[in-house]
Amino acid sequence: MKPVKILFLCYINRSGSTFLAHRLHQFREVCVCPELDVPVSGWLEAPEQPGSLQWAAECKHRLQQDPKFVAWQNAGFTLENLNYHGSNMETFRSLLTLYRNAMKPDAEIVVFKAERLIHLYPMFKYFPDVMWLAVLRDPRAVFHSQRLTPHPDTGRMMAHNPLVLAAKWKVFCKQLIRHNIPYISYERLIAETDTVLNDFAREHQLVSPPDASKDTYWQHLSPAHRALHTRVTLPPDATRMDRWRQDLPPRDRALIQHHCQTLMEHFRYKAESLPYPTVYHSFCTIALTVHNCKRWMYRLVFWIKYNFI
pTM of the model as a whole: 0.89
Does pLDDT of 75 surpass 80?
A: no
> Do residues 21 and 184 make contact, with C-beta atoms less than 8 angstroms apart?
no
Residue-averaged pLDDT of the chain: 88
- Residue 230 β-bridge partners: none
121-143, pLDDT tens digit by residue?
A: 999 988 999 999 999 999 999 99
Calculate the alpha carbon distances from 138 to 238, 282, 298 in Å: 14, 24, 27
11-42, pLDDT tens digit by residue?
A: 999 999 999 999 999 999 999 999 888 889 88
Residue 224: predicted pLDDT: 83
Q: Which residues, in sequence order, are CB contacts of 134 under 8 Å at separation 6+? A: 9, 10, 11, 118, 172, 176, 181, 182, 183, 184
Domains and CATH numbers, the chain: 5-308 (3.40.50.300)
198-248, pLDDT tens digit by residue?
A: 999 999 999 988 887 777 898 888 888 888 898 998 999 999 999 999 999
